[in-house]
Amino acid sequence: MSMFSDPRWGEALGHLPDYLGNHVRVSVAALALGLLVSLPLAILARNRPVMRTTLLGLASIVQTVPGLALLALFYPLLLALASLTLAWFGFGFSAFGFLPAVLALALYSMLPVLRNTITGLDGIDPAILEAAQGVGMTPRQSLFTVELPLALPVIMAGIRTAAVWVIGTATLSTPIGQTSLGNYIFAGLQTQNWVFVLFGCLAAAVLALAVDQLLALIENGIRNRRVWRAGLGGIGIAALIAATLVPSVARAPSSYIVGAKTFAEQYVLSALIAQRLRAAGLSASSREGLGSNVIFDALASGDIDVYVDYSGTLWLNQFHHSDIKPREELISELKTTLAKQGITLFGELGFENAYALVMPRQRAEALGIRSIADLAAHAATLSIAGDYEFFSRPEWASLQKAYGLSFRAQRQMQPDFMYAAVASGEVDVIAGYTSDGLIAKYDLVVLDDPSHAIPPYDAVLLLAPKRAGDGALQAALKPLLGKIDITTMREANLRAGGGDAAASPDAVARWLWQKIDKP
């Protein structure tokens, strides 16, 4: 009982009209598009063995691509296409959110529909086909009045499978900017909000089951010639679509969209930005859980208006520089580069979220280690752990080069577990993140980097090209600049990982604002 008195259920419920509506819209559009393409293809292919094998083969291959990857692939694809149409025909389109999600999901829905339509048409008794010909039907009349009605149960089974797949996979469209029930799951996983994760999974499952049952009703009605059953199912589906369309049509579109990447700090900061905008009388909404490859392009093309990025990430990953420059120089150079794309680097928030070598304070003091240079002398007897990408990142190469680091052993770990592992002595050093709240919690120490091998990762506010001259927006954001120091951000991150009601990004953002809003 106490589990359900958690206020986060209420918060989750508040998001439901928006998330569910978007989820239904993207699923229905994808399914409709999938059917529109696969049904005629299946009918064309059934008497053409080569086309049929090719189609089914291609659809099977698509099916083996993990849903997340398929969705993520469509974003750059459409982005390239949009720039082509802009260059050739003078119009572009948004490659963000709805369109790539619909296309990827439609592709995903094709296999069961193709396969079942072909199987269903193949399974018809040849004597019936001959009879259709014998009573004087044209091939088209035979297809529409005999073959398709007889194959319908098998085709409907395929459509039901496709519907369940699409609704399930649509939860993965959150990282490419399509709001969906996946927003609960992505946000929940990152902020340890299990209520959200559970709520998102349940909502998606209930939706999938409901649609499946409505389609079953239609199928059953058609099979047994019960018009009212098929009608009831049809009305059910139509009502579901209408119910999810109405609130979003009625709601005024928000003018500012704040982006957030897929980790807790980003959720807190985007909540903080949205709160500041609302406090300034502007309407704002968050688009959370965006992949780091997607979010920058989304800002550049104006699909989102503002987000927080890190100078080192932009420097290394976005602009592919291999040299590392001092903080001020790097920021000013970034400003110039970004300005060429019309993007405003509005300013630094005051803290850094960089990779850093971290070890327990007591251990470091006992060994007399204060900096990475000190560590290098002991490295041969120590082990190091990092996240899945650290050891293949330029920072690690740069560290090895600058300090001649060579550890006894190196391991890869889930970021959440690294800090506990180093605190318990399972590994000696970890490559952690400077703004992580767990550094304070486990009494760890960040080792100095006197040779500046790791580039600065200052948190910076980026504004979309169309907001370059937006005075109201900039006035609302100005109070945040330089105000969030590393200690405050660490504490905010620690709170966000608390796993209780006070840990929701909104609550932490309010706490953060109280903390920094001092003259």
Partner 1 sequence: MPSTPLIAYDRVGKSFAGGSSVQRVIAVDDVSLEVAEGEFLTVVGGSGSGKTTLLRLANRLIDADFGRITVEGEDVAATDPVRLRRRIGYVFQSGGLFPHISVAANIGITPKLLGWPPPEISARVNELLELVRLDRREHRDRLPQELSGGQRQRVGVARALAAKPRIVLMDEPFGALDPLTRDALGDDYRALHKKLGLTTVMITHDMTEALLLADRIAVMRAGKLLALGTAAELSNSDDPYVLELLRTPRRQAERLNALLPGHGAA
* Nearest to partner 1 of 226, 452 (CB atom): 226
* Nearest to partner 1 of 44, 135 (CB atom): 135
* Nearest to partner 1 of 143, 481 (CB atom): 143
Candidates 131, 202, 242, 279: give the one binding partner 1 (CB under 8 A): 131
Map 240-294 to HEC letters. HHHHHHHHHHHCCCCCEEEECCCCHHHHHHHHHHHHHHHHCCCCEEEECCCCHHH
Q: How far apart are the C-alpha atoms of 397 and 95, rounded to whole Å?
A: 35
Alpha helices in 46-66 (DSSP H): 49-64
Least spacing, CB of residue 154 vs partner 1, in Å: 13
Candidates 13, 44, 69, 135: give the one binding partner 1 (CB under 8 A): 135
The reply on whether position 123 binds partner 1 by CB under 8 A is no
Least spacing, CB of residue 145 vs partner 1, in Å: 8
Number of residues that bind partner 1 (CB under 8 A): 16
Q: How far apart are the C-alpha atoms of 172 and 181, rounded to whole Å?
A: 9
Stretch that binds partner 1, among 146-154, 370-378, 385-393, 502-510 (CB under 8 A): 146-154
462, β-bridge pairs: 307, 345
* Nearest to partner 1 of 22, 142 (CB atom): 142
Least spacing, CB of residue 40 vs partner 1, in Å: 22
The reply on whether position 49 binds partner 1 by CB under 8 A is no
Least spacing, CB of residue 152 vs partner 1, in Å: 8
* Nearest to partner 1 of 141, 292 (CB atom): 141
* Nearest to partner 1 of 132, 334 (CB atom): 132
The reply on whether position 149 binds partner 1 by CB under 8 A is yes
Least spacing, CB of residue 294 vs partner 1, in Å: 48
* Nearest to partner 1 of 149, 450 (CB atom): 149
* Nearest to partner 1 of 131, 397 (CB atom): 131
* Nearest to partner 1 of 137, 201 (CB atom): 137
Please report, as a single letter, which amino acid is at residue 423: A
Candidates 68, 150, 162, 264: give the one binding partner 1 (CB under 8 A): 150
Candidates 137, 235, 245, 421: give the one binding partner 1 (CB under 8 A): 137
The reply on whether position 156 binds partner 1 by CB under 8 A is no
Q: Look at residues 453, 324, 457 and name the one whose alpha carbon lies nearest to residue 398.
A: 453
Q: How far apart are the C-alpha atoms of 316 and 397, rounded to whole Å?
A: 13
* Nearest to partner 1 of 142, 179 (CB atom): 142
Query: How many other CB atoms are found less than 10 A from the CB of residue 269?
Result: 26
Stretch that binds partner 1, among 129-137, 187-195, 203-211, 354-362 (CB under 8 A): 129-137
Q: How far apart are the C-alpha atoms of 152 and 80, rounded to whole Å?
A: 39
Whose structure tokens read 């088209």?
A: 140
Judged by CB under 8 A, the chain residues 210 through 229 that form the site for partner 1 are: 225
The reply on whether position 132 binds partner 1 by CB under 8 A is yes
* Nearest to partner 1 of 145, 487 (CB atom): 145
For CA atoms 233, 234, 237, 243, the dihedral sign is negative
Candidates 63, 94, 119, 133: give the one binding partner 1 (CB under 8 A): 133
Tokens of 193: 């909000």
Q: Are 197 and 185 in contact (CB under 8 A)?
A: yes
Query: How many other CB atoms are found less than 10 A from the CB of residue 481?
Result: 15
Sequential DSSP letters for 100-164: HHHHHHHHHHHHHHHHHHHHHHHTS-HHHHHHHHHTT--HHHHIIIIIHHHHHHHHHHHHHHHHH
3-state secondary structure of 50: helix
Q: How far apart are the C-alpha atoms of 365 and 348, rounded to whole Å?
A: 32
Stretch that binds partner 1, among 133-141, 237-245, 380-388, 467-475 (CB under 8 A): 133-141
User: Strand locations in 274-382, DSSP E?
Assistant: 284-287, 306-310, 344-352, 355-360
Stretch that binds partner 1, among 60-68, 137-145, 273-281, 449-457 (CB under 8 A): 137-145
The reply on whether position 141 binds partner 1 by CB under 8 A is yes
What are the C-alpha distances in Å from 310 to residues 381, 408, 456, 457? Answer: 33, 31, 8, 5
Whose structure tokens read 């396969």?
A: 115
Stretch that binds partner 1, among 144-152, 370-378, 388-396, 410-418 (CB under 8 A): 144-152
* Nearest to partner 1 of 135, 380 (CB atom): 135
Stretch that binds partner 1, among 130-138, 252-260, 289-297, 463-471 (CB under 8 A): 130-138
Least spacing, CB of residue 116 vs partner 1, in Å: 17
Least spacing, CB of residue 133 vs partner 1, in Å: 6
* Nearest to partner 1 of 131, 246 (CB atom): 131
Least spacing, CB of residue 130 vs partner 1, in Å: 7
Q: Look at residues 188, 182, 176 and name the one whose alpha carbon lies nearest to residue 23.
A: 182
The reply on whether position 130 binds partner 1 by CB under 8 A is yes
DSSP assignment, residue 456? Answer: P
Q: How far apart are the C-alpha atoms of 185 and 171, rounded to whole Å?
A: 8
Query: How many other CB atoms are found less than 10 A from the CB of residue 465?
Result: 16
Residues in contact with partner 1 by CB under 8 A are 127-128, 130-138, 141, 146, 149-150, 225
